[in-house]
């Protein structure tokens, strides 16, 4: 990768990986071992990204997601695994020690999107396992899956692909995070959404409006489509009128301060850890 690129790293997936690896290896009380794992993992990712600078985001303890004000049921079905509950405070401390930016109201993928949208796609490498990040053009690198080939960890997302993926999400919703009874068009999966969006003879908003109206009627269809739009859309650098004041302030803070967070990854710091092969990221 080009040495001038900036790595935008979503640390939240690492929280779960490190927690499970530590517990499965028998570590339930040695915070030094867990922090060393976190720091080695991060240094390896930074090396493998080929970037000279990085910004790392994570959701802080007590995080209050603005999307829960729009849809209280958002991620309401999720439970905290024992391993995560045990190691989360320690891992978040390690994130802070390596310069991670703690978020209190927006999600890590939102923060990455905010920064990415003030830069050019060829200036960034987005490091995440979150499928929602496909909304953001640029080079994408996923180090958080084990047992996949190096080439499969990388993909380039164009603006056209990113825009299309977002509108497909508006049609399907995201059943993993929000009830299908409230967001998206029920029984409209990715294949159906792709087929609908492929109608190049119609404006995209007409496609969305027609699909929702056909299923739910004009009034309910608009309400549901509007709610889904707000829930699946990653935040950008322009005003996001539907988010709360705290989240908006956090977006503005990121826009004001992100350049000061970009720290050069010095060779002497990187050399504190030996970068293992990608599959070894998942070992203690």
Kindly indicate the confidence band of residue 247, based on its pLDDT and cuts at 50, 70 and 90: very high
Number of alpha carbons in the 13 Å side-chain half-sphere of residue 171: 27
User: What is the reported pLDDT for 260?
Assistant: 80
**Domain 6-158+236-282 architecture:** 3-Layer(aba) Sandwich (3.40)
Is 78 a residue whose pLDDT tops 90?
Answer: no
Which H/E stretch holds residue 59? strand 53-59
pLDDT of 263 higher than 60? no
Query: Residue ranges of the alpha helices (H) in 105-244?
Result: 108-116, 159-172, 190-197, 204-216, 218-232
> What is the Cα–Cα distance from 226 to 247, expressed in whole angstroms?
19
Q: Tens of pLDDT along 167-202?
A: 999 999 999 899 999 999 999 999 999 999 987 778
In percent, the amount of the chain with pLDDT more than 90 equals 77
Q: For residue 261, which of 154, 139, 112 has the smallest C-alpha distance? A: 112
Predicted structure pTM score: 0.89
Provide CATH 3.40.50.1010 ranges for the chain: 6-158+236-282
Average pLDDT of the residues in 150-158:
92
User: Which residues make Cβ contacts (< 8 Å) with residue 264, sequence separation at least 6?
Assistant: 52, 53
């Amino acid at each position: 990768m080009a040495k001038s690129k900036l790595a935008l790293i979503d640390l939240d997936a690492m929280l779960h990986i490190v927690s499970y690896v530590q517990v499965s290896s028998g570590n339930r009380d040695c915070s030094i071992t867990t922090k060393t794992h976190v720091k080695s993992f991060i240094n390896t990712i930074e090396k493998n990204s080929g970037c000279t600078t990085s910004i790392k985001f994570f959701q802080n303890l007590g995080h209050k997601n603005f999307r829960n004000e729009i849809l209280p049921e958002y991620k309401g079905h999720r439970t905290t695994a024992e391993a995560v509950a045990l190691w989360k405070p320690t891992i978040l401390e390690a994130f802070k020690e390596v310069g991670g930016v703690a978020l209190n109201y927006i999600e890590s993928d939102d923060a990455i999107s905010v920064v990415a949208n003030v830069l050019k796609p060829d200036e960034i490498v987005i490091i995440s396992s979150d499928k929602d990040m496909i909304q953001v053009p640029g080079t994408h690198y996923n180090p958080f899956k084990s047992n996949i080939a190096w080439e499969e960890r990388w993909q380039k997302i164009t603006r056209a692909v990113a825009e299309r993926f977002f509108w497909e999400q508006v049609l399907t919703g995201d059943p993993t995070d929000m009830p299908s009874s409230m967001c998206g068009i029920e029984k409209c999966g990715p294949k159906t959404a792709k087929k609908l969006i492929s109608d190049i003879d119609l404006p995209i908003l007409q496609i969305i409006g027609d699909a929702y109206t056909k299923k739910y009627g004009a009034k309910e269809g608009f309400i549901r489509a509007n709610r889904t739009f707000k829930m699946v859309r990653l935040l950008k650098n322009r005003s996001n009128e539907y988010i709360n004041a705290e989240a908006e302030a956090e977006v503005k803070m990121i826009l004001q301060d992100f350049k000061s967070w970009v720290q050069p990854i010095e060779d002497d710091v990187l050399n504190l850890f030996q970068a293992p092969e990608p599959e070894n990221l998942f070992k203690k």
